[in-house]
Every structure is written in C-alpha cells, then in structure tokens.
Amino acid sequence: MPTAVTPTRLPAGGYLEPAIDWRRRGPWQQLAVAVAGLAFVITCLVVAQVDIAALVRGMPRLFEWASTAWPPYTQELDVIAYRAFETVAIATAGTLFAALLAAPLAMLVADNTAPARWLATPLRWFANACRGIDTVVFAILFVAAVGLGPFAGVLGMVVHSLGVLIKLNSEAIETLPRAPLDAAAMSGASPAKVMSHAVLPAALPNLASVSLYVWEANVRTSTVLGIVGAGGIGIEIKAAIDLLDFQRLFTLTAAVLLMVTLIDQLSAWLRRRLV
C-alpha cells in the first residue's frame, strides 16, 4: 500500500507540493479518465455539429427578424388567452388522471409496501418505459388514435406523467418509517387497510407535493404539444413560425412566459403549504 506524501514546508512560508510519482498506477488512471472524458466531449461537439462561426454569421439575421416583432400583435387576444388556458387545461387533466392512477401503483412498487416482488418488478419496468418516452411522442401516437385536438395531448401526458409519478411517489413512500406500518400490520389489519390507513395518510403531503411539481413541469411541456396537433398554444406558435409572423410570435411567447411564471409561483406556494 503506497504511503501518503506530505507537502514540504518552505522556509519563507507556504508549501512545496510533492512531485507526481509516475511509477504508481493512480496518476495513469487519472490521466486515462481525463483523456477519455475529453475525447467524449470532443466527439459530442463534432456529432452535434457545433459551429460557433455559423452562429456569429447568423446573428445579424436573427436581430433583423427580432426587430420585426415590435410592436406586439394585439389583435385576437381572446384567441391567444383561450389557447393559453387550453394548455393549462391539458396539463391539469393529464396530471390529475396520472396522479390518481399512480398513487395506488406506487404502493405496489415501493420496497416497504410492495406485496410481492413478481408484481413490483413488472410495474417498475412499466413506469420506466412510460417515463423514458417523451410526452410529445405519446401525443403523436394518440393523435393517430383519437385524432387532432387537446384530448390526444391529455392522453399522452397521462402516460408519461404516470411513469414519473410512480417513480417519485414510490421513493417518497420508501422514506416512511417502518415502525408504524409494522404496528398496523401486527394489529391484524389487512394489506389494503395498512395502505389506506397508515401509508396513504403519512405519504399524502409528499404525494401531493410531487404531483404539483409534475403539474408545473407539464404546463411547460404542453406548450409544444400543439406543434404535433395535440392542442394548446403550440398550434398558434407553429402557425406564426410557418408564416414568419414575428409580431404574433412575440405576443404568443410573452403569453407563454406569463402563463408559466404564474403556474410556477402558484405551484411553489401550494407546495410550501403542503409540506
């Protein structure tokens, strides 16, 4: 086992760091990790086609387009407000249905409440699959199934949010102290009663807080669902981009920013009241 090398104190004060002993394996391992990390980053930059020169050349055109966005588009504000509310409605309905479904499923997945491993493992795989695929992908699939409109967005958001909520809720349930759950089981309560009378009341504040956080994230996600025909303000944004109507695009962007800011503040306030 190599001995630790201490720095040498200089007469004038300070310390002289010891020289690196390249005969040891440690420095070579650190160098190999650093080289591998640098090579990975460079490869990512090449594959992503990062071109700073192209950005510099395109900035004048970007500023030219941005200059045409003023003054903002002030007509049809009622349509823009309705699309913004439709976006919030999609996120609210999708999160609500997902939260109602995820609460009992999370209890079947959590290590301290799962009744059987053969049931918990497939449910965990199902949650991972739902969580691993983006809401937009599910929305495209449901557009093909139920047609254009906000309902497809709601269905896509339910499936993706279900996976997220099962994961987060099960982790919240696993943090519960074991003693009250064991006491309820020893009193003769059935597993269903233990979950409904011991687990759910104790975990409900955290479950509600997690649901509010997912709702807040879903509002931001639902702003782009209209691009794939799943309703919301994204429909208006896509139309403005296709027509190069930057005045309308600026107004829509401001509406999205206002909507998301209000939802973020409301969600944060409600979470502070719950936890």
Using CA atoms, how far apart are residues 131 and 94, in angstroms rounded to an integer? 14
Q: Is residue 57 part of a domain?
A: no
Q: Are residues 37 and 131 in the same domain?
A: no
Check residue 183 and give its pLDDT. Answer: 65
| Same domain for 121 and 208 | yes
Q: Do 157 and 91 belong to one domain?
A: yes
Q: DSSP labels for 51-88?
A: -HHHHHHHHHHHHHHHHTT-SPP-TTHHHHHHHHHHHH
On the question of pLDDT at 257 being above 90, the answer is no
pTM for this model (two decimals): 0.73
* pLDDT tens digits, one per residue of 4-62: 555 556 666 555 566 656 566 666 778 888 899 999 999 998 888 878 888 888 778 77
Do residue 20 and residue 93 come from a single domain? no
Same domain, 41 and 94: no
Between CA 112 and CA 115 the distance in angstroms is 9
Which pair of tokens denotes residue 145?
């199934």
Residues 6+ apart with CB under 8 A from 127: 105, 109, 162, 163, 166, 167
Residue ranges with strand state E in 157-253: none
Q: What's the total number of domains in the chain? A: 2
Q: Is residue 105 part of a domain?
A: yes
| Whether 137 and 35 share a structural domain | no
53 found inside a domain = no
Task: Kindly state whether residues 29 and 123 are assigned to the same domain.
Answer: no
| 102: containing domain | 77-274
CATH number at residue 98: 1.10.3720.10
pLDDT at 155 over 80: yes
Q: Which residue type is seen at 198?
A: A
Look at residue 40 in the predicted model and tell me its pLDDT: 93
Q: Which two tokens stand for residue 248?
A: 């309308």
Pair (96, 26) in one structural domain: no
The answer to whether position 247 is within a domain reads yes
30-36 contacts at long range (C-beta below 8 A, 24 or more positions apart): none
Distance CA 62, CA 68 (A): 10
Judge whether 34 lies within some domain. yes
15 and 149 housed in the same domain? no
- Would you say the C-alpha torsion 176, 178, 183, 188 has a positive or negative sign? positive
In a domain, 267, yes or no: yes
